Homo-oligomer: A and B are copies of this chain.
Amino acid sequence: MLSRRYGERVARQDPFIPRSTDPRVQRSRAAVIATALELLTERGIAATTIEAVSERSGVARTTIYRQWPGQAELVLDAFAAVLRPPADPDTGTLRDDLVELTTGLARALSTGPAAGLMLALMDAAEREPSYAALHRREAELRHAVILDVITRGIRRGELPAGTDPAEVLDLIAGPIFHRRTVSQGTVDPAFAARVVDRVLLAYRHP
């Protein structure tokens, strides 16, 4: 299972390919993905077997095999179904944009469906190339929004010219992740705002 090699199907399943408008297909597909996400959250990647998904979802095992080559492809599809980049808030000020995005990240990591999934994906990405690719793609999409916001802030003069947007990103998103996954503290909007304000303060005085 873990030594499976990932074929071309994984490579080209970018968002994902419906390929069939038959409501029966879409129904079973949706049920399978939803159940897979449940199992991923509750028990992790390794325990999210086709067997287990079939049993809980009520969709026959053979039906699942008709739509996915194997466990890895199904899990990747499930991940892809929840990892959505945030919208650009564009409030007008860098501070409010960042607070908005950071609050969203904090919420996603605490209560959202992706809460328990992020670490599973990150861990899998350490070893399995296809998970690494998905993780990279997801991070890039999410970061693109944040980097845009920061770059806009620099252009407006809310951050000094020459500021490295990627560094600001790490300084802001990092503490949220860290508090959630290592310090095990609460990551609420107040904490998110505190982080943003503190980091912006660090750039105010050269």
Contacts and interface: CB of A to CB of B under 8 A. Distances in A.
Interface in A26-65: 42-47
Interface centre among A127, A184, A198, A202 (most CB of B within 10 A): A202
B202 A198 contact: yes
B184 A139 contact: yes
A84 interface: no
A1 to B, nearest CB: 8
A197 B136 CA distance: 28
A181 interface: yes
A170 interface: yes
Interface stretch (A8-16, A75-83, A92-100, A118-126): A118-126
Interface residues of A, number: 45
A12 B195 CA distance: 38
A44 B182 CA distance: 19
Contact of A139 (B127, B173, B183): B183
B116 A120 contact: no
Interface of A: 2-3, 42-47, 116, 119-120, 122-124, 126-127, 136, 139, 143, 166-167, 169-171, 173-179, 181-185, 194-195, 198-199, 201-205
